[in-house]
Amino acid sequence: MAWRLIHQDALPVAAMLTVECTNVGLNVLFKAATSKGLSYYVFIVYSNIIATLVLLPLFFIFRRTGLPSFNLSLLSKIFLLGLIGFLADICGYKGLNYSSPTLSSAMSNLTPAFTFILAVFFRMEKLALRSSSTQAKIMGTLVSISGALVVVLYKGPTILSTASTVLSPPSAVLGTSEKNWVVGGLLLAVQYLLSSTWYILQTHVMKTYPAEIVLVFLFNLCGTIISAPVCLIAETNLSAWRLRPGIALVAIICSLPCAHMGPALERACVYINLQAIVNCHCCCFQCHIPW
């Protein structure tokens, strides 16, 4: 009984926390790599290719018998997952390029809010306004969205300053203009909206085909097929596609466990217990929602 509770409640939360922490590290690495000249188009293509190659043997190992055969409907949904993931990557890395890893991490709080809204819209979540659990979820959603708006639109005074930064505006300290900061925040908001849509669709697909490793491989394969031609057209500088030892190569290699293998565990836990995402709201109130 205790193991069942751990498996259903604690494991999904632990997996998501692990993925979020690794994503923070990846954001910092990516920002450092782009400051050295790495194109985010190159980053997206190479990270998808490497993930696809690494997951290829796992595809054959974890493909179990007794699963339904692939059909056009299932493959089209997986392709849609790849398209949504590619668009989320473009918006996210472009937004990070305009802003900073700090803003990206702060905006990630929109994910549970958007997920709850979409779950209600698609009737995966019942909305009972008189229920204390529903009221807590709504309050958490409002807090998440309000916090995102504040962090994008409002800049307070610099808390820690040195002689070189006393006369500098906050945007200069952050290394980005105010306009770019807002544009970056909007792009990051779109990324997390797409990510929430991604989670909802992934949960629906896994009900039909419950093999997360196989699905993540196919998702990365579709991401490679979609991103390669688009990014090759967008990034015409051929020298940008030549990788050399350095921070750019480290960022691409680290994106494998952070951005590609990590979601396999996270999405599996979302399938086990989708409500764990919404439980993130309750951290503000030190309580647990009785589902």
Query: What are the tens digits of pLDDT across the range 176-206?
Result: 567 788 888 899 999 999 988 988 888 888 8
Q: What is the DSSP letter of 99?
A: S
Query: Do the Cβ atoms of 265 and 19 come closer than 8 Å?
Result: yes
Query: Do the Cβ atoms of 111 and 23 come closer than 8 Å?
Result: no
Give the residue extent of every domain in the chain: 20-63+94-125+170-291
Single out the residue of 45, 91, 92 nearest to residue 228, CA to CA.
Answer: 45
Query: Do the Cβ atoms of 100 and 262 come closer than 8 Å?
Result: no
pTM above 0.85, yes or no: no
pLDDT, average across residues 18-42: 80
DSSP 176-232: S-HHHHHHHHHHHHHHHHHHHHHHHHHHHHHHHS--HHHHHHHHHHHHHHHHHHHHH
DSSP 63-89: --TTSPPP-HHHHHHHHHHHHHHHHHH
Q: What is the DSSP letter of 274?
A: T
Largest CA distance in the chain: 67
Assign 291 a pLDDT band (cuts: 50, 70, 90): very low
Q: Over the chain, what is the mean pLDDT?
A: 75
Best mean pLDDT range from 22-26, 173-177, 261-265, 277-281: 22-26
Using DSSP, state whether 151 is helix, strand or coil. helix
Q: Give residue 187's identity as a one-letter amino acid code.
A: L
pLDDT value for 268: 46
- What are the tens digits of pLDDT across the range 209-226? 888 788 888 989 999 999
